[in-house]
Amino acid sequence: MKQHASGIVLGVVGALVLGFAIVAAIWRGVTSIDGLGYEPGVLRASKTGAHAATISLSTFPDSNVCHRGASAEQLEWVSYCPSTTLEVPANSLVTVVIDNYDGATTLVNSYFRQVQGTVGGVELVNNKPMSQVSVDHVSHTFTLQSTPETNNPLFVSVPIVAVADDAPNVVTIAGNQYPKPNVISFQFRTGPAGSYVWHCYDPCGEDREPPYGFTGPMSTTGFMAGTLTVTNY
């Protein structure tokens, strides 16, 4: 029992260490001149009230919808769409809606199967509240973290529930066919203006070279990594 518990603790610590390493790398990239690859336009949340806003995203098993000018290799990458450079209002209740068209990739660490940092500690999956998801039913995660030395720490992590592997392709988007999406929604609250990093912790990159599953789209802005800016507007 102690050995099992130790394994869990080490796994969580390992995930967090990797997470902070990714955060630092992405932050250095997006604040440099060249960044870490494709630099999308800003997707600004739509204000729905004096202190409320909604932002809508999609996740795809390829990059044909949002990255038509990408290389042949990158077109095979999984992708968030239409942008991974997000902007939301300060001191507000933010609703995030994600249409997921992708299948499952088993999580390496079960820490990220839990919904964390959202209002009520839940996400809605096709309008059904869930606080955690099986590790083998996850496509991606939406994990929002503070940048180093931030004055307003923020952590939100939501597992994106996968569509079934045998689901038929019944939706056509930009000439590409996909299965009916799972619709994931959740809410979190912002504080004062600040800058944050968000990314995916499900290893859906190249799995044949170190760090296995965390290469390619996983650490490239515009695909599975990006930024969220809290600002006054």
Q: What is the pLDDT at residue 39?
A: 56
pTM (2 d.p.): 0.84
Q: Indicate if the pLDDT at residue 84 is higher than 70.
A: yes
Mean pLDDT (whole number) for 155-177: 96
Q: What is the pLDDT at residue 147?
A: 81
Q: What is the pLDDT at residue 40?
A: 64
Where do the domains of the chain lie? 2-231
14-59 pLDDT tens trace: 444 444 445 544 444 444 334 445 556 899 999 999 999 999 999 9
- 3-state secondary structure labels for all residues of the chain: CHHHHHHHHHHHHHHHHHHHHHHHHHHHHHCCCCCCCCCCCEEECEEEECCEEEEEEEEECCCCCCCCCCCHHHHCCCEEECCCEEEEECCCEEEEEEEECCCCCCCCCHHHHECECCHHHCEEECCEEECECCHHHEEEEEEEEECCCCCCCCCEEEEEECCCCCCCEEEEECCEEEECCEEEEEEEECCCCEEEEEECCCCCCCCCCCCCCCCHHHHCECCCEEEEEEECC
Architecture of domain 2-231: Sandwich (2.60)
100-152 pLDDT tens trace: 999 999 999 999 999 999 999 999 999 999 999 999 999 999 999 998 778 88
